[in-house]
Amino acid sequence: MGASQSTESNLTASIQRHLSKIVVAPSFAASLFFVYGFILWTGYMAFSKSRMLPVWDWAGLRQYERLWQMERWHVAIENLLIFGGLFIVTCLIIGCLLAVLLDQRIRAEGALRTIFLYPMALSFIVTGTVWKWLLNPGLGLESMMHDLGWTSFKFDWLVNSDMAIYTVVIAAVWQASGFVMAMFLAALRGVDQDIIRAAYMDGASLPRIYFGIIIPSIRPVFLSAIVVLAHLAVKSFDLVIALTGGGPGYSSDLPATFMYTMAFQRNQLGVGAASAMMMLATVMAIIVPYLYSELRGGKKNG
């Protein structure tokens, strides 16, 4: 091999070796800029004096102070806790129940699964729109019940400040419980058959087998489901906008809608940024320990 040939092949060999890195670089750079860079930007904004336009003047913790002094923010946080809690618990119960029921060698299992899951394919806007119609005080569920004879039935939650947030729970559960069911069903199907046979030979009854053995053994999936649902809850924006618009007033506001209103409609960039950072912190508090424990414990994922 001539000298010039070897330098040329050295160059191509060198590029080949680094090709992998070159290929991944754009995505990595995009991630660094559009994710981490932006987080830093928003973080800084939360420390700045920004109102309508971003400015770089330092304002310390003032935006956070203002944030926490706003009653609307407190309402949003409270709503998040109510909504998040109910949403997660209800989805878990329904999802688990449906998964267990579907696991019993049902004849129309495929069709039922499709029916339970299809809401997940819809946009939250579509979901919000249809439930807004269903729960319409005058023409929706209430009037249907009246027509069926139950004339004293009242369902004005949608326009009731105290109850509006619960309508969001109803719609969200409708959308997401099928997904939880799918997760649980997959997990149930992966349980070691021998353990069940052993329990059967010990004389355990079917409910006993389920509650005592199977459900505890899919505990990791519970955790996964909770993390996914919590994540969905914190991010909930589309559904609230479509269903209640955050109202009446701001009684069904969630941090996500709060942030949007402050940043894009109320010329309160700083406060909006501060609320976004609070949302980030909440999500991190859930995700980071979870990811850490997953990566530590489950090295099987390569």
Partner 1 sequence: MADIQTYSHDAGWKHTVLRGLLYLILILFAAYYLFPLIVMISTSLKSLDEIREGSLISLPRVVTFDAWNYAWNEACVGVECTGIKIYFWNSVKMAIPAVLISTFLGAINGYALTKWRFKGANIVFALLLFGCFIPFQVVLLPMSQVLGKLGLASSTPGLVLVHVVYGLCFTTLFFRNYYVSIPDELVKAATIDGAGFFTIFWRIILPISTPIIVVSVIWQFTQIWNDFLFGASFASGANAPMTVALNNIVNTTTGVKQYNVDMAAALLTGLPTLLVYVLAGKYFVRGLTAGSVKG
| 102-161 positions binding partner 1, by CB under 8 A | 102-106, 112, 114-127, 129-134, 136, 139-141, 143-144, 147-148
Using CA atoms, how far apart are residues 45 and 52, in angstroms rounded to an integer?
A: 12
**246 near partner 1 (CB under 8 A):** no
Judged by beta carbon, residue 168 or residue 183, the one nearer partner 1 is 183
| Beta-strand runs (E) in 71-151 | none
- Tokens for 204, please give them: 């355990």
**77 near partner 1 (CB under 8 A):** no
Judged by beta carbon, residue 75 or residue 182, the one nearer partner 1 is 182
Judged by beta carbon, residue 160 or residue 224, the one nearer partner 1 is 224
* Cβ–Cβ < 8 Å for 212, 200: no
Judged by beta carbon, residue 3 or residue 254, the one nearer partner 1 is 254
* Backbone φ and ψ of 114, nearest 5°: -60, -45
3-state SS class at 279:
helix
Binding mask 53-72 for partner 1 (x = CB under 8 A): -x------------------
Q: Which residues have C-beta within 8 Å of that of residue 44, sequence separation ≥ 6? A: 56
Q: Report CA-CA distances (Å) from 266 to 155, 163, 269.
A: 32, 25, 8
Number of residues that bind partner 1 (CB under 8 A): 111
Binding mask 80-99 for partner 1 (x = CB under 8 A): --------------x---x-
Contact with partner 1 (CB under 8 A): which of 89, 159, 163, 283? 283
